[in-house]
């Protein structure tokens, strides 16, 4: 296509548009150029698509209504150009004479130049609106050229992520960002083009300082001016991932001990059954006395006991072993590629470590343990677990004295914390009641129960308010009724522990009177167990001969006289005589006038 000199001058003028910042300025420039260059008598610039068109400006028409009426009419002096095929709008030019081919050629060039300018103006306006919107969002937002991946724009959050300003960002592309997402950018673009609702991907990104962090990026294809662009909204999902990891951790871990929980234990049992990790040994453990600790010292102390035991066993196993809390006081350990002999050695080591730990702690740990081994693939691990559990219960029965000692120690700690008993009270009672028991010819089992009763007969006072127990003056009738509840409370506590069940009824009876006027059930005479009758006398004597906040201790003679006075009323008269004889003999042997059982 050739142009003469006049046409070249017109073309030069056409391409000298100033790219105004406002649409009104563009209309003025179109009017100025078209009237000067072409002598048009009427023109109009319509923007928007077919459904949302508006008249941006006109010249030569009396009113805007005339524009809409005229542009649809045909005529050889009219030129109508659809900007971007009508998506951007249309340009109407009208001259007095019919249009020549030269006129049409120059009008078309002029219209295309208007199209370019208007498109750039629209793009600039859209970019301003887009930028204003972007800055209101905390996520990082990028506007990316879909063809080459170069950045058109980004908000301040995005610039901060990358450690650069907008000017520098404009010279960069997505490939300049260190991220696993940008490494597969071409593949992502293909997916975005085929996704009507956009695409969301997760990956990692690296900040300017080198820190790697997880991101979620939502991508959508849009038209920006005449170009296809990708809007990428990137969100730092560090907190979300941490929360997910925490949820995942908690779903397989016990919150209190941080050991694995039953769900993970069972999942590993199923997995290992199909593995080549045989022989697989399983250890089952039961923490003795936990209920007593919870009932007497509170769940805080019980929880601390569980955590303490968890710390001990966690340190005894490999990272490949599964150490789990599978119930309230139940623990289980799966040991892949571990023989029966090794499992037995581990149990011995656990017992030794617990014994060493107890030497430095007030509350003792007592654990019953059992183990079993599945030697070959095909053996059921659930049957192996059941066998280990049965052996644990046999161990508990065989070691009955160990859980008993631990339980007694726990209760004595609880009583000491509440300061219910004077120093040495339980030990003095044990000595006095044993001498009485031996004098009465009790069996070794009865003497053992009597000694245990002497140590913990007052555990029910754990359920009595402190202010009553420590009150220096006389108790009110209501307070006395509260005190009288402690034998029943003690009975319930003892019943909650298998090792204390044999003396539970003895605890409940130790405040019953020989004449039936005691509490809590009003038993009389030999309805009251012999061991409870023995304890009642020794307990009363020790109380009378010990200092109390509200009175001084009585002498031996005064205390014995009071026992004789109450014989047949509060105490078994026969046992009072036996007790008095023992006391006198002990004092005579000791050769002192003070308390001979200290």
Residue 306 has pLDDT above 80, yes or no: yes
57-77 pLDDT, tens digit each: 899 998 888 888 888 788 899
Mean pLDDT, residues 165-172: 87
Amino acid 505: pLDDT:
95
102-148 pLDDT, tens digit each: 889 899 998 898 888 888 787 777 777 777 777 778 888 888 888 88
2-58 pLDDT, tens digit each: 666 777 777 777 777 776 767 788 888 888 988 888 989 999 998 887 777 888 889
- Can you name the residues that pair with 104 across neighbouring β-strands? none
Helix H, strand E, coil C: the string for 432-486 is HHHHHHHHCCCCHHHHHHHHHHHHHCCHHHHHCCHHHHCCCCCCCHHHHHHHCCH
Tokens 């030697």, residue located: 375
The encoded tokens of residue 105 equal: 């050629």
CA pair distance 319, 116, nearest whole angstrom: 68
Q: What element of type H or E holds 542?
A: helix 530-544
Residue in 475, 265, 491 with CA at minimum distance from that of residue 389 = 265
202-230 pLDDT, tens digit each: 988 888 788 889 999 999 988 776 678 88
47 preceded by cis ω (within 30°)? no
**Range scoring the smallest mean pLDDT among 6-10, 353-357, 459-463, 512-516:** 6-10
pTM above 0.85, yes or no: no
CA pair distance 480, 476, nearest whole angstrom: 6
Band (403; pLDDT cuts 50, 70, 90)? low
Tokens 């990358």, residue located: 162
Mean pLDDT, residues 279-287: 95
Amino acid 402: pLDDT:
64
Residue 545 has pLDDT above 80, yes or no: yes
37 preceded by cis ω (within 30°)? no
Q: Which residues contact 565 (CB under 8 A, 6 or more apart)?
A: none
Residue in 574, 555, 552, 550 with CA at minimum distance from that of residue 564 = 574
The encoded tokens of residue 299 equal: 């769940």
Q: What is the mean pLDDT of the chain?
A: 86
CB 365 within 8 A of CB 354: yes
443-456 pLDDT, tens digit each: 988 999 999 899 88
- Can you name the residues that pair with 215 across neighbouring β-strands? 203, 236
Could you give the angle at which helices 573-590 and 530-544 cross, rounded to 10 degrees? 50
First-last CA distance in the chain: 127
423-450 pLDDT, tens digit each: 578 888 999 999 999 999 999 889 999 9
Band (318; pLDDT cuts 50, 70, 90)? very high
Q: Map out the domains of the chain with their CATH numbers.
A: 5-122 (3.30.450.40), 135-240 (3.30.450.20), 253-404 (3.30.70.270), 419-590 (1.10.3210.10)
Amino acid 417: pLDDT:
64
Band (324; pLDDT cuts 50, 70, 90)? very high
Amino acid 409: pLDDT:
73
Share of the chain above pLDDT 90, in %: 39
Q: Which residues contact 457 (CB under 8 A, 6 or more apart)?
A: 429, 490, 506, 507, 510, 535, 539
CA pair distance 177, 541, nearest whole angstrom: 87
Amino acid 549: pLDDT:
65
In this structure, the number of other CB atoms found within 10 A of the CB of residue 551 comes to 9
CB 316 within 8 A of CB 367: no
Amino acid 550: pLDDT:
64
CB 258 within 8 A of CB 331: no
Band (570; pLDDT cuts 50, 70, 90)? very high
Mean pLDDT, residues 483-506: 87
Residue in 281, 496, 262, 286 with CA at minimum distance from that of residue 390 = 286
Burial environment of residue 252 by CB neighbours within 10 A (0 to 12, 13 to 18, 19 or more): middle
Residue 285 has pLDDT above 90, yes or no: yes
Residue in 343, 360, 445 with CA at minimum distance from that of residue 400 = 445
CB 547 within 8 A of CB 558: no
């Amino acid at each position: 296509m050739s142009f003469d000199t006049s046409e070249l001058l017109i073309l030069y003028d056409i391409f000298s548009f100033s790219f105004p910042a406002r649409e009104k300025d563009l209309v003025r420039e179109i009017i100025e150029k078209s009237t000067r260059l072409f002598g048009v008598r009427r023109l109009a610039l319509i923007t928007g698509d077919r459904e949302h068109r508006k008249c941006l400006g006109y010249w030569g028409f009396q009113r805007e209504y005339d524009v809409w009426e005229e542009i649809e009419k045909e005529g050889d002096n009219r030129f109508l150009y659809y900007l971007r095929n009508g998506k951007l709008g249309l340009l109407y030019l009208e001259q007095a004479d019919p249009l020549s081919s030269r006129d049409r050629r120059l009008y078309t060039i002029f219209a295309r130049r208007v199209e370019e300018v208007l498109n750039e103006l629209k793009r600039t306006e859209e970019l301003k609106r887009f930028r204003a919107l972007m800055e209101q969002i905390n996520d990082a937002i990028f506007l990316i050229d879909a063809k080459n991946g170069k950045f058109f724009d980004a908000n301040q959050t995005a610039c901060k992520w990358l450690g650069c300003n907008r000017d520098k960002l404009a010279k960069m592309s997505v490939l300049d960002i260190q991220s696993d997402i940008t490494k597969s950018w071409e593949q992502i673009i293909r997916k975005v083009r085929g996704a009507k609702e956009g695409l969301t991907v997760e990956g990692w990104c690296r900040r300017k300082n080198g820190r790697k962090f997880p991101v979620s990026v939502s991508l959508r294809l849009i038209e920006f001016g005449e170009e296809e662009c990708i809007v990428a909204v990137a969100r730092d999902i560090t907190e979300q991932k941490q929360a997910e990891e925490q949820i995942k951790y908690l779903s397989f871990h016990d919150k209190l001990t941080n050991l694995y929980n039953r769900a993970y234990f069972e999942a590993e049992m199923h997995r290992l059954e199909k593995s080549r990790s045989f022989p697989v040994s399983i250890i089952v453990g039961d923490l003795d006395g936990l209920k007593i600790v919870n009932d007497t010292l509170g769940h805080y102390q019980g929880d601390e006991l569980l955590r303490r035991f968890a710390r001990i066993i966690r340190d005894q196993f490999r990272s490949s072993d599964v150490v789990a809390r599978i119930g309230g006081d139940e623990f289980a350990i799966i040991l892949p590629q571990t023989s029966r002999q090794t499992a037995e050695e581990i149990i011995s080591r656990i017992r030794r470590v617990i014994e060493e730990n107890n030497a430095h702690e007030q509350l003792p740990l007592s654990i019953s343990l059992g183990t079993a081994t599945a030697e070959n693939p095909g053996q059921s691990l659930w049957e192996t677990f059941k066998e280990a559990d049965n052996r644990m219960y046999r161990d508990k029965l065989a070691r009955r004295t160990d859980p008993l000692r631990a339980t007694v120690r726990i209760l004595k700690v609880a009583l000491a914390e509440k300061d219910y008993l004077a120093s040495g009270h339980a030990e003095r009672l044990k000595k006095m009641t044993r001498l009485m028991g031996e004098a009465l010819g009790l069996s070794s089992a009865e003497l053992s129960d009597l000694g245990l009763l002497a140590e913990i007969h007052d555990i029910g006072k754990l359920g009595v308010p402190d202010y009553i127990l420590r009150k220096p003056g006389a108790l009110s009738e209501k307070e006395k009724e509260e005190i009288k509840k402690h034998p029943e409370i003690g009975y319930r506590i003892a019943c909650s522990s298998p090792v204390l069940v044999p003396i539970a009824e003895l605890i409940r009876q130790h405040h019953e009177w020989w004449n039936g006027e005691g509490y809590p059930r009003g038993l009389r005479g030999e309805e009251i167990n012999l061991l409870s009758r023995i304890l009642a006398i020794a307990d009363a004597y020790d109380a009378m001969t010990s200092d109390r906040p509200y009175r001084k201790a009585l002498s031996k003679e005064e205390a014995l006289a009071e026992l004789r006075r109450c014989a047949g009323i509060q105490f078994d008269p026969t046992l009072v005589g036996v007790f008095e004889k023992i006391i006198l003999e002990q004092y005579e042997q000791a050769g002192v006038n003070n308390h001979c059982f200290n």
